[in-house]
Every structure is written in structure tokens, then in C-alpha cells.
Amino acid sequence: MHKAKVLWHRKNGSDIAERTIEPIQEEREVVIESEYSFVSIGTEKTIISSDLSERTAEKMRVPYMQGHFNEDFTYGYSLIGKVIEGPKKLLHQHVHVMHPHQDIVKVNADDVFPLPAGVPSKTATLGSNMETAINAIWDAEVSLGDEILVIGFGSIGALVSLLANSIVGPRLSVLEINPNRSKIAKSYGFKVIDSIERGNFDVVFNTSGKGDMLQKGLDLCRVEGKVIELSWYGNKQVNLSLGEDFHYGRKQIISSQVSQIPLKKRATWDYKKRKVLAFDLLKELNTAPLFNLEIPFLECPVFFNKLRQKNFDELAVVIKY
């Protein structure tokens, strides 16, 4: 048996508690010693600082989560570690698994994804976000010569930008007002702007987490342009003005979310194939500049208690075990 340290979120703050990991059932389960897990700043801030409706809370549950939103719960969805117990074919391999922040985890062997050679453990924490970005590109149906705007250069916005820029033909702009994030975007050679009043974009990706930026995206679209909405608002209301050129311009708002393969792709793609693609892309694209905050696991409660009260400028945040 192992003693695991688990990050818990409670009404009055976050803390670390111990739990006992029971022995595995041979060949069916694995024990993983965690190396890194990814912090999705926008989503995790929302769930620890908001009261979620019962319907929203049910949809936001993640694999191996303990507890319940609005009470005490664990959270996290992209963890990398080394298998220390389990089937011989997985033993000592570095793997990706959907799991809350925890230093030692026991999961079903079928739920782990062995990391391909050439993908470092820290880079691999972006696997789940890369799947989100892939879905967004699929949903947008980006075409040769498209004018593309990405609003918000957080972890999702950055990956969408990298993918869009890797396609020959489209012309990419990034709208970001945060100086730290703008600097990283510019380091990639992207055209970065901090304000814009008029535009004629074919596709706008809103990754900002702000409803007014969804409106901005609609206003900047050309006739029959698309806004791909990747922000998650929890219970927050979003107000839109649709009375001017939204209908006359035949503009589209397309929800993009990682939990489903887009219908037009389901004949040839499944979740495993998409995950393989995500890690292949992480091997090819330079994501190292995105990582600008690494938190020791035992210092997590301090970080999350601060996150309840303020926004962070950091782009890609990881917990190191």
C-alpha cells in the first residue's frame, strides 16, 4: 500500500490531505508516481471560486475526482507520471492520465496513455489542451487564405495559434492585452495586437474567457464568418447584441469543446486516434516558451488560495511533484 498526498478544494480554502492507496488488481490497474500535472487557470479558478448549478457540476466532473463541487472536492485533468506498479508492458513507462492533482495515483490500466519517445514529461501535460485545440481547428474548418484572429493567448489560445500557424495559407493575428502573454506570442513571430475596432476575419477563436470578447469576435467577423467559442463561463451570464449585422451577415457562433469528437470527424476519428495526434503535434511544435510557472506540489494550497482572489498572468502553469 502507498500513502498519497491529495490536493483538496474546500469552502474555506485548499489544502493537502493524505489517503491510502489500496493494492492493485494485477493486470487491471497501475500505480503511478506523479511527475507533473497541468493547471487550467481559467477553469480551475471558476470551479473553486463559484457555486456551480447541479447540472453544470455534473458535466464538469473529471475522471477519478473525489467529492462534490460546492462542497469538498479534488480536481485536475492532465497528469504525467511513471508507472511503479502494474502490468509488465507498462511498468516504468512515463504515461499521461486524466486525474486530479495528487502525488501517487491508482488508475485502470486502460486509462493511461504511454508517452511517445521525444515528448518530455512537462510538455506532455499539454496533451489534453492540445486535444481541445485540435477540436477547435476541426470545428473552424480553416481554409487556404483565411484571415484568423485568436482572442486571448492563454494555454488554449497559444495552442490554437500554433496549430493555425502550422497550416499553410491562413493568416493569423492574436489579440492579447496582457504584456507578458503578448511578449510570448511575439516571440513566435505572430502578429500581436492589443486593440482592434474593425476587422474582416473569416474565423475568430475566442479563448479569453470573457463574454464581451465573444461580442468583439462577432463584430470583427466578415459576412458568413465564424466565431469558435472555447471559453467556459460556469454560471456567469453572457449578454450579446445580435440586432445589427449578426443575422444580416449570416454569422455563426460555434461551440467547441473537447469531450466530443466533432460529428463530421467521427467516421474516421476516435478519442485514441485524436490523442495520438495531440502528442505527435507536441513533438513537432515548440511549446517550451509557454511554460512560465512551475509550482512545487506542497505549495499548491498557497497558489490556489491566491487564485481564488486574483487573476494570474502566467500562460502555462504546471505542478511539479
- Hey, what's the torsion of the CAs at 278, 58, 50, 131, to 10 degrees? 10
What is the rounded distance in angstroms from the CA atom of residue 125 to the CA atom of residue 110?
A: 19
Q: Are residues 199 and 100 in the same domain?
A: no
- Residue 87 has which C-alpha cell? 502490468
Q: Are residues 180 and 305 in the same domain?
A: no
- Report yes or no on 96 lying in a domain: yes
Same domain for 31 and 79? yes
- Do residues 110 and 141 share a domain? no
- For 208, list phi and psi in degrees, rounded to 5: -80, -20
Using an 8 Å Cβ cutoff, are 253 and 227 in contact? yes
Q: Which domain holds residue 193?
A: 129-265
Are residues 25 and 152 located together in one domain of the fold? Answer: no
What three-state secondary structure class fits 163?
helix
Q: Are 7 and 101 in contact (CB under 8 A)?
A: yes
pTM more than 0.75: yes
- Kindly compute the dihedral angle of the four CA atoms of residues 211, 217, 218, 222, in this order, to the nearest 10 degrees: 180
Residues 53 and 167 in one domain: no
Residue 12 resides in a domain: yes
In a domain, 273, yes or no: no
Specify the pLDDT at position 25.
82
CATH number of the domain residue 158 falls in: 3.40.50.720
Burial 203-217 (b: 16+ CB within 10 A, else e): bbbbbbbbbebbbbb
Residue 215 domain-assigned (yes or no): yes
Indicate whether 137 belongs to any domain: yes
pLDDT at 264: 95
For 267-294, the pLDDT digits (tens) are: 999 999 999 999 999 999 999 999 999 9
203 falls within a domain: yes
Q: For 57, phi and psi rounded to 5 degrees? A: -60, -40
Q: How far apart are CA 282 and CA 276, in angstroms?
A: 10
pLDDT at 54 (0 to 100): 85
Report how many domains make up the chain: 2
CA torsion angle 9 318 274 168 (round to 10): 140
Using only C-alpha atoms, what is the Rg of the chain? 20
- Residues 85, 40 contacting (CB under 8 angstroms): no
Q: Are residues 201 and 153 in the same domain?
A: yes
Beta bridge partners of 255: 229
pLDDT value of position 57: 85
186 shares a domain with 60: no
Asked if residue 300 and residue 259 are part of one domain, the reply reads no
Do residues 96 and 155 both lie within one domain?
no
Contact 115, 170 (CB under 8 A): no
Q: For residue 228, tell me if it sits in a domain.
A: yes
pLDDT of residue 295: 97
Query: CB-based contacts of 28: which residues, under 8 Å, 6+ apart?
Result: 108, 109
pLDDT digits (tens), the chain, 321 positions? 899 999 999 999 999 999 999 999 878 999 999 999 999 998 999 899 887 888 888 888 999 999 999 899 999 999 999 999 999 999 999 999 999 999 999 999 999 999 999 999 999 999 999 999 999 999 999 999 999 999 999 999 999 999 999 998 899 999 999 999 999 999 999 999 999 999 999 999 999 989 999 999 999 999 999 999 999 887 788 999 998 789 999 999 999 999 999 999 999 999 999 999 999 999 999 999 999 999 999 999 999 999 998 888 889 999 999
User: Do 254 and 142 fall within a single domain?
Assistant: yes
Q: Is residue 222 part of a domain?
A: yes
Q: In a 3-state reduction of DSSP, which class is residue 249?
A: coil
- Bridge partners of residue 228, in order along the sequence: 205, 254
Where do the H-state alpha helices sit in 145-270?
A: 155-166, 179-187, 211-220
Query: Are 199 and 291 within one domain?
Result: no
| Strand ranges inside the chain, DSSP E | 2-10, 13-21, 29-39, 79-85, 94-97, 104-108, 113-114, 147-151, 171-175, 191-193, 201-206, 221-229, 252-255, 291-296, 316-320
CATH code assigned at 105: 3.90.180.10
* The pLDDT of residue 59: 84
pLDDT of residue 273: 97
